[in-house]
């Protein structure tokens, strides 16, 4: 088995490569341009919600106060009337890209460490490139993509958005696997 300490270079380099690739995908290409639609009458909606001072967080509308309420005719009528939403309220003010980018980079390092752990647990020093590639690609793909699917399954997120994010995750996994295969200890 290869120890994780021997894999510090592919862990960090794959995280940096994924970070750069994700920046290119999200900022330099139109790939995610239409992931979120504009709400009709956006200003009217914002003006209606602003006085409510809804704290940052995740909300469901309508939301029963207890499980039994979901079976009531009154709740069924609320659902029938709509709108039905899963709503994420972000803090008011400028978006801190610095904080988001730091968290994203730490996430890429975490995925690389977990993929390295799987590969190091199974493969010896000197393992062939394609074997390393396979043992890193699968857990990296799972880390970058598979958890996103439940957002479409349970929360009605557009399957188009989830599919694009899954393809992004596949790209990130392949880049990670290639980096590990290239830098695997010999």
State residue 9's pLDDT score: 96
Q: What is the DSSP letter of 147?
A: G
Q: Is the distance from CB of 120 to CB of 4 less than 8 angstroms? A: yes
CA separation for the pair 99, 114 (Å, rounded): 23
State residue 95's pLDDT score: 87
DSSP 3-state assignment of 88? strand
**What is the value of pTM for the model shown?**
0.88
Written as tens digits, the pLDDT of the chain (186 aa) is: 557 889 999 999 999 999 999 999 999 999 998 898 999 999 999 999 999 999 999 999 999 999 999 999 999 999 999 999 999 999 999 988 999 999 999 999 999 999 999 999 999 999 999 999 999 999 999 999 999 999 999 999 999 999 999 999 999 999 999 999 999 999
State residue 1's pLDDT score: 52
State residue 154's pLDDT score: 94
SS3 content of the chain, % helix, strand, coil (to 5): 70, 5, 25
Residue 85: name the closest of 54, 56, 51, 59 by CA: 59
Beta-strand runs (E) in the chain: 57-61, 85-89
Backbone torsions φ then ψ of 15, nearest 5 degrees: -65, -40
């Amino acid at each position: 088995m290869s120890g994780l300490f021997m894999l510090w270079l592919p862990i960090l380099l794959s995280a940096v490569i994924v970070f750069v690739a994700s920046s290119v995908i999200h900022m330099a290409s139109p790939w995610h341009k239409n992931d979120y639609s504009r709400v009709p009458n956006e200003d009217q909606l914002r003006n209606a919600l602003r006085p409510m001072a809804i704290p940052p967080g995740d909300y469901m509308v309508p939301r029963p106060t207890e499980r039994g309420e979901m079976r009531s005719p009154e709740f069924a009528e609320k659902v029938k009337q709509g709108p039905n939403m899963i709503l994420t309220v972000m803090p008011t003010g400028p978006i801190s890209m610095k904080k988001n980018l730091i968290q994203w980079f730490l996430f890429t390092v975490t995925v690389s460490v977990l993929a390295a752990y799987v590969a190091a647990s199974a493969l010896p020093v000197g393992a062939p490139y394609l074997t390393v590639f396979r043992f890193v690609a699968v857990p990296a793909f799972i880390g970058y993509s598979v958890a996103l699917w439940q957002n479409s399954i349970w929360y009605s997120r557009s399957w188009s958005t989830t599919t694009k994010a899954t393809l992004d995750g596949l790209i990130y996994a392949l880049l990670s696997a290639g980096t590990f295969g290239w830098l695997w200890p010999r």
